Amino acid sequence: MTNVKHVPTAAINCQLLYVSQTQASQVESLQALIAEHALPIILNIELVTEKLNQKRRQQLCHTATQPILLLDEKDKLSWLSDGLGVAPEWDKLQRRVVSAGRKSELLLQAAKITADSRVIDATAGFGHDSLILASTGAQVTMLEQQPLMALLLLAEQQRMSALANWQKLMSRLHIINTDALSYFESINNESVADNSKIVDMVYLDPMFPEDSYQDSKTGKGAKVGKHMQALHQLASPPTLDEERQLLQSAQAVVSQNGQKQGRVIVKRPQSAPLLAHQQPSESWHNEAVRFDGYFV
C-alpha cells in the first residue's frame, strides 16, 4: 500500500514502513501529528510483511533515496540510519529520570531549576536532556529545527503519554519544530508583561565536530554513540557567527527575567572550546562533558 500525503513544497519525503495491518490507527495518528504541528514532511507509507533483520535494514538504507522511518511491532517509531534504528527511547531513561537530582545529574547542578521554573531546551535532539530537566517538575519547551527529529520526539511523547507513570512528565514537555534563533527573536520582541512567559533557563547543546569528542586523559577520540552519529547526518555544527548569535539571543531571553537571575547553560564535550569563545560564569564537568553556565 502506498499513500502520499500532500503538504507544502519545501517538505521532506520520508518513507514510513509499518509491519502490521493492525497499525493503521498508529499510522493515522502519526499523520495527525504531522498535520497538527505543520511539520514539512510527506510520508510515503508502506506495509512490509517480510522480516526486517539487520542485513535487510542495511540494504534498504543503502538503496533509499529518502529517510526511512520504521513503526515496529511495539508501535515504536525509529529512524533507520545506516541500518540502525535510532529513536528517542525515553523508557530507557526511566532510572535516571526517577532518581535525577543535583547529586546524580551534573546538568541539574548547573541548571539549578525547580518545579516552578520555565526552561527552553533550544537544541532538543532526542530529548534526553529535556527529560532530565523536566524531572525537576519544571516546564520544558523543546525546540528542534529538524522536522524528522521533531516527528520522532512528538511520536515518542504520544507513545509515552499512554503509560500512566509517565503522563505527568510528558505533560510538561512542549515540543516545537523551529529554529531556536527565530524563536528567541519572537520572544525577545514580545514585552514580557505576562509572568507565565518568563524563562528561567535556556539550555544549548549544539552540534560540534565529530572529532571534538575526546578523552581528556588519553587525548584520543571517544566513540560517538549511534544517536549522535545519526544526528551528524542531519545537522551540522554552527559557525562561530551562529554560535555568537545563539548565545547572545539566549542571554537576551533569560534577561527578561526581572528580579530573578536567569542562566544559559551550554553543554560541550569536556575538552571542546568555549561556545562563541565566551568565558562562562561557572563550569561543571566530569570526564566526558562540561556544562558552561552564563548567568544573566
Ligand X SMILES: C[S@@+](CC[C@H](N)C(=O)[O-])C[C@H]1O[C@@H](n2cnc3c(N)ncnc32)[C@H](O)[C@@H]1O
| Residues contributing to the site for ligand X (CB under 6 A) | 122-123, 125-129, 143-146, 149, 179-181, 205-207, 231, 235
Taking the complex as a whole, how short is the minimal distance between the CB of residue 177 and ligand X, in angstroms?
9
Nearer to ligand X, 27 or 143 (CB): 143
Taking the complex as a whole, how short is the minimal distance between the CB of residue 235 and ligand X, in angstroms?
4
Taking the complex as a whole, how short is the minimal distance between the CB of residue 128 and ligand X, in angstroms?
3
Nearer to ligand X, 45 or 127 (CB): 127
Contact 74, 51 (CB under 8 A): no
Q: Which residue has the cell 526552561?
A: 119
Nearer to ligand X, 206 or 262 (CB): 206
Instruction: Find the length of the chain.
Output: 296
36: Cβ–Cβ under 8 A, 6 or more apart, which residues?
Answer: none
Q: How far apart are CA 155 and CA 164, in angstroms?
A: 17
Taking the complex as a whole, how short is the minimal distance between the CB of residue 245 and ligand X, in angstroms?
9
Strand order across the 41-47 sheet: 41-47, 12-18, 68-71, 77-81, 84-86
Taking the complex as a whole, how short is the minimal distance between the CB of residue 125 and ligand X, in angstroms?
3
Residue whose Cβ sits closest to ligand X: 125
Taking the complex as a whole, how short is the minimal distance between the CB of residue 224 and ligand X, in angstroms?
11
Q: How far apart are CA 236 and CA 251, in angstroms?
A: 22
Nearer to ligand X, 45 or 87 (CB): 87
Nearer to ligand X, 19 or 107 (CB): 107
Residue ranges of alpha helices (H) inside 103-225 are 106-111, 128-134, 147-161, 167-171, 180-189
61 burial (CB, 10 Å; 0-12 / 13-18 / 19+) is middle
Nearer to ligand X, 34 or 45 (CB): 34
